């Protein structure tokens, strides 16, 4: 018996299984695959099963010793999804003052197309602070 998580797209007997699917292979050739663990543990687990003597895939729902092993493996290798908003907020901080509504001057009132254009000025002392520099 072998149980593992698909780290990439997995092809088993001409069927595609996506990343993070839990795959349980038994010694007699039967394969159980599940990738839907987004429901409470008390409900049956949706499985895609390969039967080697029939050479067919079929979908079923089960709650037995094999599904318990798959639940335990999923819980043990569950991807961590804790997002810290402050962390991303700090990453987006900028070194210059954000523009407010009073900046710029109106250009050429007599020109129809340029009537509503404004000049825009950078607020930082370092004019190229947005561009990466390479030194040789």
Listed as own residue / partner, the contacts of 110-114 with beta carbons closer than 8 Å and 24 or more positions apart are none
pLDDT digits (tens, 9 = 90+) for 86-112: 776 777 776 666 556 655 555 555 555
Give the C-alpha separation, 12 to 15, whole Å: 5
pLDDT digits (tens, 9 = 90+) for 48-61: 999 999 999 999 99
pLDDT of residue 5 exceeding 80: yes
Count the neighbouring beta carbons within 10 Å of the beta carbon of residue 5: 17
Is residue 6 within 8 A of residue 21, CB to CB? The reply is: yes
- CA distance from start to end of the chain: 57
Give the C-alpha separation, 13 to 1, whole Å: 18
């Amino acid at each position: 018996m072998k149980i593992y998580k698909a780290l990439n797209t997995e092809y088993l007997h001409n069927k595609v299984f996506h990343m993070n699917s839990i795959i349980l292979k038994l010694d007699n050739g039967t394969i159980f695959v599940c990738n839907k663990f987004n429901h409470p543990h008390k409900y049956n687990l949706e499985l895609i099963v390969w039967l080697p003597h029939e050479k067919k895939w079929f979908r079923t729902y089960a709650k037995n010793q094999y599904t318990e092993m798959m639940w335990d493996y999923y819980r043990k290798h569950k991807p961590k999804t804790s997002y810290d908003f402050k962390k991303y907020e700090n990453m987006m901080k900028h070194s210059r003052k954000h523009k407010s509504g009073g900046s710029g001057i109106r250009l050429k009132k007599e020109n129809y197309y340029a009537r509503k254009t404004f000049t825009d000025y950078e607020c930082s002392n370092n004019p190229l602070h947005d561009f990466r520099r390479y030194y040789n």
